[in-house]
Structure 1
Amino acid sequence: MKIEHIAIWVRDLERMKSFYTTYFNGLANDRYVNQSKGFSSYFISFSSGSRLELMHSPEIPPNLNNLDQQNLGLIHFAISVGSKEKVDQLTNILKTDGYEVIGNPRTTGDGYYESVVLDPENNRIEITI
């Protein structure tokens, strides 16, 4: 078995699509729109692994998670970039481009080399080898 995709409700569908396709080399499908439900989405595919579904509906309320105090439920996902150098490089690019780095590159106690950044809507992404 494998995780086929993870979905995120978003406020700005185009901005989020641009973020994941630009920085993580994702490939977006054509925008899906269901006019009767006021729903639209993109699936973002990567070179391997699970896909990311970005979904928008104006009726969805804001997320109540805050950056200082985490809550139960899905809190982050990790994207593997292939090497320690690529973790450092992408983290620096994102920081330079104005995205918040909330965990600088480091080796964790369980041996992972990772950084933690926020996407444009404050979802946590671990960038790892």
Structure 2
Amino acid sequence: MQLTHIAIWTNELERSKDFYVKYFGGKSNEKYVNPKKGFASYFVTFEGGASLEIMQRTDITEEKNGGYIGLAHFAFSVGTKENVDGMIEQLRRDEYTIIGEPRTTGDGFYEGAFLDPDGNHIEVIA
């Protein structure tokens, strides 16, 4: 079996799509819109085939801060420790919130963590 995609809600569909295309080299499909349901989405696909389904719906607008039951984080492999360091520094320069400085974790990954434009916890790992 293979994980094909993870879906996340956003209040700013274009901003979220552009973020994952810019920083992670994702390729976006054309926007899907269902006006009857007030729904729109993009699939942004990454090297290796996994995708993020970035979704917006007119009746789902509440944002959550802090930990909650559900999606905790997801991670992108950027290949090397140097790439992890570089990505974290680029995100810092672009004024994203860094929530974990690059380090080797107890499970053996070299990783840094940050919040995407919607506050989702994202890790970059080597």
Instruction: Tell me if both proteins adopt one fold, taking TM over 0.5 as the criterion.
Output: yes
Match of 1:99 among 93, 96, 111: 96
Aligned to 1:2: 2
Identity %, equivalent residues? 51
Task: Return the TM-score normalized by structure 1.
Answer: 0.94
Runs of 4 or more above 6 Å deviation = none
| SS in structure 2 at match of 1:85 | helix
Aligned to 1:50: 50
Unaligned 5+ runs, structure 1: none
2:35 corresponds to 1:35: yes
Task: Return the TM-score normalized by structure 2.
Answer: 0.96
Calculate the aligned-residue CA RMSD, in Å.
1.0
Match of 1:79 among 67, 76, 79: 76
Residues 64-110 of structure 1: CA deviation (Å, up to 9, x unaligned): 3x23xx22221100111111111110110001001000000000011
Unaligned 5+ runs, structure 2: none
Aligned to 1:89: 86
The code of the aligned residue for 2:54 comes to L
Q: CA deviation at 1:49?
A: 4.0
